[in-house]
Amino acid sequence: MRRFTRPLLILLALVFLFEAWLWEHLSPVVAWVVARLPLKRFKEWLADNIRGLSPAWTLIVFIVPFILLIPLKFLEVFLIAKRQWLAAIAVLVFAKLLGLGVTAFIFDLTRPKLLQMAWFHRVYEVVLGWLAWAHALVDPIKQQIKRRMQIFAPHRAGRAVKLFWRIRRRMRTRMAA
């Protein structure tokens, strides 16, 4: 059981880190896109209105992007049922990027109010703990991969080629035996 648990935990950590990476990298992209859209008054209006809301109403504002994405989820299921795999994947990716981007934008506006709710603050701290756990689990593996990949750096290419041929020779002798 133990030998199956660690790979599953690593996979879970990788998925979590990928989501965090998307969140981190989409937030500035969405901010950039929103800054380019002629919605300055809308953004200011939204920020002003969020400041005037109670934390509970702010939570509703935070949840709205998830609700608005539900039709895309139904479209994904419909496309999968029709076996239109590429279209389903395209809608899935679009919904994921749009959802994460808009949610990151809304979360930046609503975070101060949301963190006033004790339960939300605890959940937020738990998620940050999971992020730290995922980094602690995956970062040593990433470092090990980076160290091993350094052999393929341009200034070490000769060593990489020699290593490749040595490994290939070993595999052939093992297969021949």
Range of the domain at 122: 2-176
Cβ-proximal residues to 19 (8 Å cutoff; 6+ apart), any chain: 100
Q: What is the DSSP letter of 150?
A: G
Q: What's the sign of the alpha-carbon dihedral 121, 25, 57, 73? A: negative
What pLDDT score does 34 carry?
66
CA dihedral 89, 65, 114, 22 (to 10 degrees): 30
69 in Cβ contact with 97 (< 8 Å): no
pTM: 0.59
What pLDDT score does 115 carry?
92
How many separate domains does the chain show? 1
Q: Quote the CA–CA distance of 119 and 137 in Å, as a whole number.
A: 27
What pLDDT score does 153 carry?
66
User: Which pair of structure tokens corresponds to residue 142?
Assistant: 């990433």
What pLDDT score does 74 carry?
92
What pLDDT score does 96 carry?
80
Q: What is the mean pLDDT of each run of 10 residues along the chain (177 residues)?
A: 65 74 72 69 82 89 88 92 92 83 81 91 88 82 78 66 79 78
What is the full DSSP assignment across 82-111?
Answer: TT-HHHHHHHHHHHHHHHHHHHHHHHHHHH
What pLDDT score does 137 carry?
79
What pLDDT score does 107 carry?
84
What pLDDT score does 3 carry?
63
Q: What is the DSSP letter of 177?
A: -
